[in-house]
Amino acid sequence: SDAAAGGGEDRLSALPDDLLIHILLKLRDAPVAARASVLARRWRRVWALLPELHFPFGTDPDGIRAALAAHDAPALRHLFVDAIEGEAAPESAAAWLPIAAGRLSGVLHLHLQN
C-alpha cells in the first residue's frame, strides 16, 4: 500500500503543538529535539517553543548559542547545561551566557564535571 511505502498520511504533523512540545521535552536533549524536526514539517519550528532546554555533555558552546538565539518560546523557564570542566572555560560560556541572560526567566543549571 502507499502508506507502507512511505506515501501515507503525515500523522505527526496532525498532532497539536502542546503534544509535540511534551514529546520533545521527554528527550531532555535540545540538539536531539532540534534534529527531530526531520520527522515532520511542523516539527521544524516546535523545538524552538520548548519552555526548557537541556544541553548534554559535549554540546558545542556555539551550538548552545545558536539554539538560544533561535529559541522562540514566550518564556524559557529552565536551562540545563552539562559541561566537562575544561569545556566550561569562561570563553566557552561567553558564547551563550549573554543570550541566555536575555531569554531565561527561570533557573539556570550549569553542571560541571571533572
pLDDT of 26 strictly over 90? yes
Mean pLDDT, residues 5-18: 74
One-letter amino acid of 22: H
Residue 4 pLDDT greater than 60, yes or no: no
Phi, psi of 68 (to 5 degrees): -65, -35
| Angle subtended at Cα 87 by Cα 35 and Cα 23, rounded to the nearest 5 degrees | 25
- Separation between Cα atoms, residue 48 and residue 20, nearest integer Å: 11
pLDDT of residue 88: 57
Cell numbers linked to 62: 556555539
Residue 101 and residue 77 in contact, taking contact as beta carbons nearer than 8 Å = no
**How many of the other CB atoms lie within 10 Å of CB of 55?**
22
For the segment 27-40, the average pLDDT, to the nearest whole number, is 87
* Residue 6: predicted pLDDT: 57
Q: Which residue has the higher pLDDT, 91 or 60?
A: 60
* Rounded average pLDDT over 75-100: 83
- Rounded Cα gap, residues 54 and 78, in angstroms: 8
Phi and psi of 75, rounded to 5°? -150, 135
The residue extents of the domains of the chain are 3-113
Q: So what's the pLDDT on residue 39?
A: 80
